[in-house]
Amino acid sequence: MKVVIIGNNVSGTFTAQNIRLLNEEVEIEIYTQEKYPYYTRVNLPELISEKVKVDDLIVFKQDWYENKQIKLNLNSRIKKINPKNKTLELDGKDHLISYDKLVLALGSTPNIPPIKNAVKLKDEKKGVFTLRSIDDALEVKNFIHNKNIKKAIVIGGGLLGLELANQIKNSGLDTTVVEFFPRLLPRQLDLECGEMLKEEIESKGIEVVLDAATEEIIGNGSVKSIILKGGKELFADVVLIQAGIRPTIKIAHDANLRTNRGILVNEYLQTSEKDIFAVGDCIEYNNQIWGIIPACMEQSKIAAASVLGLQNVEYQGTTPKNTLKIVGLELTSVGIIDTPKEQGGGWQILKKADKKDCCYQKLVLKDGKLKGAILFGDTDAVSFVYNKLDKNVDKDELRELLRLYIYICKNCGKRYDEAVMTTLFRDLPENFKCPGCNAPKEDFKKKE
Ligand SMILES: Cc1cc2nc3c(=O)[nH]c(=O)nc-3n(C[C@H](O)[C@H](O)[C@H](O)COP(=O)(O)OP(=O)(O)OC[C@H]3O[C@@H](n4cnc5c(N)ncnc54)[C@H](O)[C@@H]3O)c2cc1C
């Protein structure tokens, strides 16, 4: 049996590896349009700031593929899939590639919001960039160095936008992040923690503009500024757009596979064609697309089993786990980070907001099970959260974990429970009075 995989990043590579782990006989071939073997995209911003080199990003070199008897074809773009006769057409070549089973690990490309001039200035290489590949990062780096660029705008205050802004700032540029939503990391943080993060980002010398829809990029020979809705103009020599992803679906769609935002798959990661499977950033399952490495890894195991006809594991979706990678800033967001009102009762939140020490920890529970968390500033609880996700947790254990206490008024027994209050007891003003009996703050004792 011959398995062909299109795409050689985390999804394609790990699907190939997992197939090989399960079966030593099948022929495996990978085609990728990129010129590098599997590399990580995680550190691409550091390639711009020259903290890492291209070689540092390569995860598996050519010999890894040879040892596993996986044939890797670099610089090979598949232009057409013919599901009827199970062949593929390669760009610039006449011969057809045949397959018995096909895996689409096509990934995604950066989303460019409808901003006037954005695509034009990007295509003309006049100072508008997106970041997805090693080549993109090298292009940005060269542009910044060769053109003596002083000021950058990053459109998009999500994880990748902030990590990019941080490295651009490290490259010595005045840097501004422009975010459409009224807070940073709109998908990973609530408003309160978003505000704390904004302060921390600003303390690094990065300007943050929220609630700002970019309408136009101004520039003729080169970028000059951006115009926000309402008319405000922000000046910059380079604009980097990091505003989400678009799953790559065109060749699947052209081959009449069912697609929507992504390539539609069932719980075995099988597309609407029975011998074609899809995995990673390019898929849509249960109306969801993921765009994160843990999902690619999980899916690649299931896709490998399905390709070999071992349909014994069903994909259940992957809980989002995100960590912001900025030195000196600890932030992890996992799963559900707010109580969804429409889902009714049973939801509970345990929260510790320590604005003085810039720490914010929030745990979200449903019917006693841990469903998600935001950990900012103090991320000691990360491994606990990962281990206990979707499991029953003991409330007292959680209090201990977050170092949240209950204080009791010795006169009237009134409780001050830090887990449900917005201010820690120690941060209450000295003239705080017991709401039950008006006793002074010192009459409260910590419950042991
Ligand atoms: C800057 C950056 C930082 C990131 N940081 C994190 C992080 O910290 N944590 C995290 O979980 N995720 C992170 N991600 C996201 C993560 O990199 C992606 O989820 C992951 O790369 C998806 O892997 P994939 O194999 O599905 O797709 P991709 O990585 O997009 O790879 C698909 C490959 O297929 C190739 N291809 C597509 N069509 C064809 C064709 N027709 N013929 C041949 N080849 C084709 C593409 O060129 C590409 O090389 C980051 C992404 C970026 C860009």
Residue showing tokens 């996992």: 334
Is 208 a domain residue?
A: yes
Contact 333, 322 (CB under 8 A): yes
Place of tokens 């299109």: 6
Span 410-416, mean pLDDT? Answer: 96
Q: What is the predicted pLDDT for the residue at 207?
A: 97
Instruction: Work out the mean pLDDT of the chain and round it to a whole number.
Output: 94
Question: Can you tell me the distance from the alpha carbon of 85 to that of 98, in angstroms, rounded to the nearest whole number?
Answer: 8
Closest CA to 61 of 85, 44, 43, 36: 36
- Which numbered atom of ligand 1 lies nearest the CA of 281? 26
Say yes or no: CB of residue 333 within 6 Å of ligand 1.
no
Please tell me the distance between residue 37's alpha carbon and the centre of ligand 1 in angstroms: 13
Q: How many CB atoms lie within 10 A of CB 52?
A: 16
Answer whether residue 265 is part of any domain. yes
Residue type, 266: N
Task: Indicate if 89 and 134 belong to the same structural domain.
Answer: no
pLDDT of residue 413: 96
Exposure string (b/e) for 358-393, b if CB count within 10 Å is 16 or more? bbbbbbbbbeeebbbbbbbbbbebbebbeebbeeeb
> Could you tell me if 339 and 426 lie in one domain?
no
Report whether residue 389 contacts ligand 1, using a CB cutoff of 6 Å.
no
- 96-98/233-235 β-pairing: unpaired
Instruction: Kindly give the distance from the C-alpha atom of residue 136 to the centroid of ligand 1, in angstroms, as a whole number.
Output: 13
Cα gap 435→93, rounded to integer Å:
80
With a cut of 70, say whether residue 173 has pLDDT above it.
Answer: yes
H or E element, residue 171: none
> Which residue of 39, 42, 159 sits with most ligand 1 atoms within 8 Å of its CB, as the best mutation to test the pocket?
42
Please tell me whether residues 160 and 227 are part of one structural domain.
Answer: yes
Q: What is the pLDDT of residue 419?
A: 80
Report how far residue 218's alpha carbon sits from residue 224's, in angstroms, rounded to the nearest whole number: 6
CA-to-CA distance for 267 and 279, rounded, in angstroms?
11
Pick the atom of ligand 1 nearest to 10's CA. 25
pLDDT in tens, 16-47: 999 999 999 999 999 999 999 999 999 999 99
Q: Is the CB of 33 under 6 A from ligand 1?
A: yes
16 falls within a domain: yes
The answer to the question of residue 55 being in a domain is no
- Among the residue ranges 125-139, 272-286, 292-306, 353-367, the one predicted with the least confidence is 353-367
How far, in Å, CA of 35 to CA of 54, rounded?
12
Ligand 1: which residue has its CA nearest to atom 26?
280
Range of the domain at 91: 2-35+74-109+246-307
Phi, psi values for residue 273, rounded to 5°: -100, 130
Give pLDDT tens digits for 243-290.
Answer: 999 999 999 999 999 999 999 999 999 999 999 999 999 999 999 999
* C-alpha 18 to ligand 1 mean position (Å): 18
Contact predicate 131/110, CB 8 Å: yes
Please write the tens of the pLDDT for every residue from 55-107: 999 999 999 999 999 999 999 999 999 999 999 999 999 999 999 999 999 99
Confidence of residue 422 (pLDDT cuts 50, 70, 90): confident
pTM equals 0.91
**Are residues 145 and 215 located together in one domain of the fold?**
yes
Is there a domain that residue 337 lies in?
A: yes
Confidence band, pLDDT 50/70/90 cuts, at residue 147: confident
Q: Which of 106, 47, 79 is nearest to 245 (CA)?
A: 106
Order of all β-strands in the sheet with 406-409: 415-417, 406-409, 444-446
Please count the helices (runs of H) and the strands (runs of E) in the chain. Answer: 12, 28
157 lines ligand 1 (CB under 6 A): no
The fraction of the chain above a pLDDT of 70, given in percent, is 99
Nearest CA to ligand 1 atom 5: 42
Q: Token pair for residue 411?
A: 């006169």
- Spatial contact of 363 and 202, defined as CB atoms under 8 Å apart: no
Is 44 near ligand 1, meaning CB less than 6 Å away? Answer: yes
Is residue 57 domain-resident? Answer: no
Q: Indicate whether 95 and 192 sit together in one domain.
A: no
User: What DSSP element (H or E) covers 415?
Assistant: strand 415-417
Least confident segment among 5-9, 111-115, 129-133, 385-389: 385-389
Tokens of 432: 């705080």
Residue 247 CA to ligand 1 center (angstroms) comes to: 10
Q: How many domains does the chain have?
A: 4
Q: Cβ–Cβ contacts within 10 Å for residue 101, how many?
A: 22
Residue nearest to ligand 1 atom 39, measured at CA = 106
- CA gyration radius for the chain? 25
Cβ atoms of 165 and 131 closer than 8 Å: no
pLDDT band of 342, cuts 50, 70, 90: low
**Are 156 and 238 part of one and the same domain?**
yes
In the predicted model, what is the mean pLDDT of residues 317-333? Answer: 91
* CATH number of the structural domain spanning residue 432: 2.20.28.10
Among the atoms of ligand 1, which is closest to the Cα of residue 11? 25
Statement to judge: residues 236 and 178 lie in one domain:
yes
- The confidence band for 344, taking pLDDT boundaries of 50, 70 and 90, is low
Residues sharing a CB contact under 8 Å with residue 148, sequence separation 6 or more, in sequence order? none
Q: Summarize the confidence of residues 137-144 as an average pLDDT.
A: 95
Can you tell me the mean pLDDT for 48-52? 94
Does residue 260 share a domain with residue 212? no
- In short, whether 304's Cβ falls inside 6 Å of ligand 1 is no
Alpha helix segments (H runs only) across 341-394: 382-388
Indicate the residue type of 340: P
> Does the CB atom of residue 373 touch ligand 1 within 6 A?
no
Q: Is ligand 1 within 6 A of the CB of residue 292?
A: yes
Q: Is the same domain home to 184 and 122? A: yes
The residue written with tokens 């990661």 in the block is 269
Say if CB 239 and CB 228 are below 8 A apart.
no
Domain of residue 83, CATH code: 3.50.50.60
Q: Which of 259, 282, 307 is the last residue of a domain?
A: 307
CB-hemisphere CA count at 13 Å for 44? Answer: 20
